[in-house]
Amino acid sequence: MSPTATASRPAKKPAAPPASVPGYAGKLLRVNLSTGKIWTQPWTGDMREYLGGVGLGAKILYEEVGPKVHWDHPDNRLILATGPLAGLPVWGTGGLTVVTRGAQTDGATSTQANGFFGAALKYSGYDAIVVQGQAKKLSYLYINDDVVEIRDAAHLKGKDTWETQEALEAEHALSGHRMSVYSIGPAGENLVRFAAIQGDYGHVASKNGCGAVMGKKKLKAVCIVRGTKALSPHDPRGLVQAADDIAHDLKTDPATSTLYRWGTLPGVSNLYKLGVLPIKNYTTNLTAVDMTTWEPAKLRAGFDHRGHQCNACGMHHCHIQVIGKGPKAGELVDEPEYEGWSGAGWQIGLTDKESITWLNTRLDRACLDVNEFGWVCGWVMECMEKGYLTEKQVGFTLAWGDVDGAYRLIRMISHREGFGDLLAEGVKRASEKIGGEAAKCAVYTKKGASPRGHDHRGRWEEMLDTCTSSNGTMESANATHQTEIGLPGRINPFNGEEVARMVGGILGRKHFEDSLGGCIFTFRTRIEHLARALSAATGWTYTLADAMRLGRRTAAIFRAFNLRCGIGTDVEYPSPRYGSKPVDGPAKDHNVMDQWERMREVWYETVGYDIKTGKPTRETLKTLGLDRLAKDLWRK
The residues of the shown chain that bind other proteins, judged by CB under 8 A, are 254-259, 261, 263-264, 266-267, 269-271, 273-275, 292, 295-297, 337-339, 342, 452-454, 478, 480, 483, 489-490, 492-495, 521, 524, 585-588, 590
CB of 254 to other proteins, least distance (A): 4
For residue 311, how far is the Cα from the chain centroid? Answer: 18
**Closest CB to other proteins among 27 and 481?**
481
Where b means 16+ CB within 10 Å and e means fewer, 510-519 reads: bbbbbbbbbb
In the complex, minimum distance from the CB of residue 93 to other proteins, in angstroms, rounded to a whole number: 18
Which CB atom, from 274 or from 322, has the smaller least distance to other proteins? 274
258/606 with CB nearer other proteins: 258
The CB-of-48 to other proteins minimum distance in angstroms stands at 30
Task: Measure the CA angle with vertex 625, ends 553 and 633; round to 5°.
Answer: 75
Q: Could you tell me if 262 and 296 are in contact, meaning their C-beta atoms sit under 8 angstroms apart?
A: yes
Sign, CA torsion 266/270/272/276? negative
Q: Rounded CA gap, 6 and 234, in Å?
A: 8
Kindly state the smallest distance separating residue 523's Cβ from other proteins, in Å.
Answer: 11
147-152 and 179-183 as β-strands: parallel, antiparallel, unpaired?
A: unpaired
CB 369 → other proteins: shortest distance, Å? 15
CB of 319 to other proteins, least distance (A): 14
For residue 56, report the phi and psi dihedrals to the nearest 5 degrees. -65, -45
Please give the Cα distance from 78 to 72 (Å, whole number).
11
* Shortest CB 341 distance to other proteins, Å: 9
CB 79 within 8 A of CB 98: yes
Smallest gap from Cβ 586 to other proteins, in A, equals 5
Q: Nearer Cβ to other proteins, position 23 or 336?
A: 336
- Specify the residue, 488 or 566, whose C-beta has the smaller distance to other proteins: 488
Contact (CB, 8 A) for 98 and 78? yes
Q: CB burial class (10 A; 0-12, 13-18, 19+) of residue 53?
A: buried
Looking at the Cβ atoms of 199 and 263, the one nearer to other proteins is: 263
Closer Cβ to other proteins, 49 or 295, answer by number: 295
Instruction: Check if the beta carbon of residue 355 is closer than 8 Å to that of residue 328.
Output: yes
Q: Rounded to an integer, what distance in angstroms lies between the CA atom of residue 203 and that of residue 201?
A: 6
**Minimal distance, residue 441 CB to other proteins, in Å:** 24
Of 207 and 452, nearer to other proteins (C-beta) is 452
User: Which helix (H) or strand (E) element contains residue 250?
Assistant: helix 236-252
Rounded CA separation 543/526 (Å): 12
Quick one: 249 or 572, whose CB is closer to other proteins? 249
SS3 state of residue 416: coil
Orientation of helix 544-564 relative to helix 53-64, angle to 10°: 30
Q: Pairing relation of β-strands 219-225 and 128-132?
A: unpaired
CB of 162 to other proteins, least distance (A): 23
For other proteins, give the closer residue by CB, 238 or 296.
Answer: 296
Least Cβ distance, residue 81 to other proteins (angstroms): 23
Report residue 304: phi and psi, to 5°.
-75, 120
Taking residue 202's Cβ as centre, other Cβ atoms within 10 Å add up to 26
- Minimum distance, C-beta of residue 210 to other proteins, in the bound complex (Å): 20
Residue 199 or 585 having the CB closest to other proteins: 585
Burial, 273: exposed, middle or buried (Cβ in 10 Å; 0-12, 13-18, 19+)?
exposed
Comparing CB distances to other proteins, the nearer of 190 and 285 is 285
Shorter beta-carbon distance to other proteins: residue 24 or 91: 91
Shortest separation between residue 175's beta carbon and other proteins, angstroms: 29
State phi, psi for 341 to the nearest 5 degrees: -60, -35
- Nearer to other proteins by Cβ, of 118 and 278: the residue is 278
Q: What gap in Å lies between CA 111 and CA 352, rounded to an integer?
A: 29
Beta strand segments in 23-137, E = 27-32, 37-42, 78-81, 96-101, 108-113, 128-132
Q: Quote the least distance from Cβ 553 to other proteins, whole Å.
A: 25
Q: Closest approach of Cβ 453 to other proteins, in Å?
A: 7
Comparing C-alpha atoms, which of 183, 156, 158, 184 is closest to residue 170?
156
Residues written for the chain:
636
DSSP class of 598: H
| Distance from C-alpha of 270 to C-alpha of 248, rounded to nearest angstrom | 24
Nearer Cβ to other proteins, position 6 or 480?
480
Question: Pick from 280, 292, 266, 270: which is nearest to 459 by CA?
Answer: 270
| Distance of alpha carbon 149 from alpha carbon 36, whole angstroms | 9
